[in-house]
Amino acid sequence: MSAENLFALASVLVVFLALLAVRFHVGLSLMLAGMVGVVMLRTTDAAVSTVASQPFSTSADYSLTIIPLFMLMGVFAVHGRLAAAGFDGASRMLGRFPGGSALASLAGSGMFAAVTGSSVATVATMARVSTDAIVKAGHGIKLAAGVVSAGGTLGVLIPPSIVLVLYGVVTEESIGQLLLAGIGPGLLTILVYGITIVLLVVRERRRAARAPAAAAAVGGSTGSAAADGEAARPATDGAGTDVAGTDGARPAPVTRPDRAGVAYLAVIFLVSIGSIYAGIATPTEAASFGATAALIILLIRTRPPRWMTVLKESVTEAVGLTAMTFLLMAGAGVFTYFLALSGASSALVDAVVSADLAPYLVLVLCLLILLPLGMFLDGVSMILVAAPLLHPILTEYGFDGIWLGILVVKVAEMALITPPVGMNAFVYAGSVPEAGLGRVFRGIVPFIVADIVVVAILILVPDIVTFLPEMGNA
């Protein structure tokens, strides 16, 4: 890169970070920063022309039709109370296990994240209700913070995932194969998170069992864990008698299980993702099938007088989410155009390849680059900014593009719970102020370890990612 281009790149990065620091919209920050760079390297007219044409060129791509369709499907599912039904069903299925309330919260967060496609929105929505349920079950708020913050990241892998769709768009990988590839890693993440929860609960119970003996030894003072609110006491009735129930908590009021809601969730998944796997529909067609099925289910579960109101609210919400996503894409398009103009993209690829490093070392280094991005950007923004840079580098080393996509998306969402500035942690702390940011980060640490284990397994056993896409092509 020439000195002029290098100076322009440094200036653009400073402008971009400054705009983020004053809480400017990420899409507009990318667009304005890219515009500054184009002005520095070309002319003001060229920059204005780029900004004027980018929104149309971004949204006019037929393959992007899948985004508003998946948005509609998710919003219809939420307004049809299917996320709540999934949470209720998970509570009834998992309540007998150690940490049943936390496991149910994990499952509920995964379902909600899958239908909304937003990690941050999932944390903001699930924080209060999940925390209340977990604390009521006798666990510390630190466990609740970790479960909810980490649970929000599940939606990036469990299809339908908007983040995977966007990765396919910016890297030109098959969207259908990416959606199928996310199923195995998504289930693996849930399994590892679940094991982590059970181990934390077992350790918590052992500490609680030791606490009375320790308290007696020091004249009745409570143990440090109890003082911090991490070890919870069994729920008791008015006479002080232990009450049997899920996780030792008071039994919840008997309610009628929403089995139909759980069945409807399965129908939407089978119609949308099953049709891709069966080879009877393209991803865009499958998204339209899923959105139609979700609309029909919404109408079935809504009383006729409220049909128009609910439909209006759903469509308005979906339009807003779609517009926000396309604004991010338009801004990323301007920013990417500047990077190509400056030669930064090709220079980065050439520099890495010429360094003659081991392929897997390059892979790990590229994945680690995503972690600091989580300090400033959400998952969608990270993919739009980083994927066009990382994908050419790693495919140059012969790595499979679909496998890479899953790893990059997984680590991008992992960045949202990584200290010191994991965005999900701040969202949770804002939604549950009594938790305190320090306790939230302590609760997240075991799940970061779990994520590292998942990424290591996916690197060592790539068939977990590629198995379903290969079967779909067979």
SS3 sequence, the chain?
CCHHHHHHHHHHHHHHHHHHHCCCCHHHHHHHHHHHHHHHHCCHHHHHHHHHHHHHHHHCCHHHHHHHHHHHHHHHHHHCCHHHHHHHHHHHHHCCCCCHHHHHHHHHHHHHHHHHCCHHHHHHHHHHHHHHHHHHCCECHHHHHHHHHHHHHHHHCCCCCHHHHHHHHHHCCCHHHHHHHCHHHHHHHHHHHHHHHHHHHHHHHHHHHHHHHHHHHCCCCCCHHHHCCCECCCCECCCCCECCCHHHCCCCCCCCCCHHHHHHHHHHHHHHHHHHHCCCCCHHHHHHHHHHHHHHHHHHCCCHHHHHHHHHHHHHHHHHHHHHHHHHHHHHHHHHHHHHHHCHHHHHHHHHHHCCCCHHHHHHHHHHHHHHHCCCCCHHHHHHHHHHHHHHHHHHCCCCHHHHHHHHHHHHHHHHHCCCCCHHHHHHHHHCHHHCHHHHHHHHHHHHHHHHHHHHHHHHCCHHHHHHHHHHHC
Give the pLDDT mean for 355-379: 81
Residue 204: what pLDDT? Answer: 79
The pLDDT value given to residue 257: 59
**Tens digit of pLDDT for each residue in 283-339?**
889 889 989 999 999 999 888 888 888 899 989 988 888 888 888 889 988 988 898
Predicted confidence (pLDDT) per residue in 94-126, tens digit = 767 778 888 888 887 777 766 666 677 778 777
Predicted local distance difference test score (pLDDT) of residue 222: 43
pLDDT for residue 454: 95
pLDDT of residue 472: 62
How confident is residue 432, by pLDDT bands cut at 50, 70 and 90? confident
Any idea where the domains of the chain sit in the sequence? Answer: 65-218+228-235+244-310
pLDDT, one tens digit per residue, over 217-262 is: 555 444 444 434 444 444 433 333 333 344 444 444 445 556 787 7
pLDDT, one tens digit per residue, over 383-429 is 888 888 889 888 888 899 999 999 999 998 888 888 766 778 888 88
Model-level pTM?
0.78
Least confident segment among 151-155, 176-180, 452-456, 462-466: 151-155
For residues 237 and 214, the model is more confident at 214
